[in-house]
Amino acid sequence: MTDKTPQTPPSSADRPAAPGSEATGPEATAGGGERIAKALARAGIGSRRDVERLIEAGRVRVDGEVLKTPAFLIDRLDRVRVDNKPVAPAEPTRMWRFYKPRGVVTTARDPEGRPTIADRLPASMPRVVCVGRLDLNTEGLLLLTNDGALARWMELPATGLPRRYRVRVFGQPDPAALAGLAQGVTVDGVTYGPVKVAVVRRQTSNAWLDVTLHEGKNREIRKLMAHLGLDVNRLIRLGYGPFTLGQMKPGQVDAVPVKALRAALGGYFGDEAATGDAAPGLVAPAPDPSKWARAKAKPKTGPKAKAKAKTGKRDHRQEDRADSTRAKSRPPARPRAAETPPSDAGERRRAAPPRAGTQANKAEGRQTGKTGRATLSAPTPRPHAGNKRPKSPAPSGSRTRPKPASKPGRRSSPNPAPKRPRG
């Protein structure tokens, strides 16, 4: 485990007094409210240890008098001067999410010169304290707040906030041994509370575990895995209480909105907690699949879809429009003469009109050319056999090119041209 949290509950003097209440005990004679070291630390003067050093150096005054002891309760900060300067009122309680990278120490200063989280935080951030701690080689979610009392409240095992980790171990864990951690176990004289462990993925020589616990003892996860014969080679904190790591990257800082913070930690803020929208990092309620919008199916454009579209239903309206367009552009059909089938072959030969190019047609053509009007009556068309369409007769007055003489071997025409009478 990575959190380093003292197990003794805080004293009544460390808890903030309610507005209008008066403290009791030997420290109440100096004033009412909360300890001055805590109040000044909350106002951003420094840590509680830094404020105690300022008091010992005589740099803190209350109502114009030099403060001689840090065991002093103060009700408001306008009575306090530090280096003869007034103290600004404390800001509202705020919280930030921070992705702590590996190899970074969870302190403001390190005597060994190793990189600290203070080196990774933006310069615009106020003085903050950590909610729990993470080891040097542990990465993941680290909560930061400007309210030390809130950090202390979240760290207490009595609060019961779960801590969730993703752990990679060397070796293959025994499911029965992992299930035994849910009942609690004692290792080297230290009793650890129930720990829930689930195998996420197994690899050739490693395995990923999902570990959830509700306390913050020093190096707890590493010691428990070593007790089972497993070596932890990577440890990532994914969540702390209602806050999660999400899609953050190493070194990234994300502020939690005040409204969402008060809604998530209503047990700390009491009746003043307001119900607000979930902030980034808060655990959202489970989604309801019945309320999801269903996407419409996209039309298929492949060759199979095109072939299927050809054999599908036809658009009759579009075909009607195409037919009407073709009918308008088509020229009018010629009127067909009435057909009178002959009674026999003899009448068929007599009723047949003279062929174009004969002497009679030429003589009649000369007569028509003189008057300018046709004198021939419409001849009766020849009957046709089978499915052959009869030819339309040539209009009167038109000049028709004579047919050449029939070639030998072919059947002669059944209607020979009439001979011209002599004399």
Would you name the residues annotated as active-site residues?
Answer: 135
Beta strand 65-66 pairing with 60-62: antiparallel
| Upper half-sphere CA count for residue 170 (Cβ side, 13 Å) | 5
Beta strand 139-145 pairing with 231-240: parallel
Residue where the block lists tokens 């932890």: 232
Q: How far apart are CA 409 and CA 386, in angstroms?
A: 25
Tokens of 399: 């000049």
Q: Give yes or no for a contact between 169 and 175, defined as CB atoms under 8 angstroms apart.
A: no
Among residues 55, 195, 218, 69, the alpha carbon closest in space to that of 134 is found at: 218
Question: How many other C-beta atoms can be found within 10 angstroms of the C-beta atom of residue 220?
Answer: 22
Among residues 198, 200, 209, the alpha carbon closest in space to that of 231 is found at: 209
Tokens of 191: 């009793």
Q: How far apart are CA 129 and CA 149, in angstroms?
A: 10
Q: Give yes or no for a contact between 225 and 208, defined as CB atoms under 8 angstroms apart.
A: no
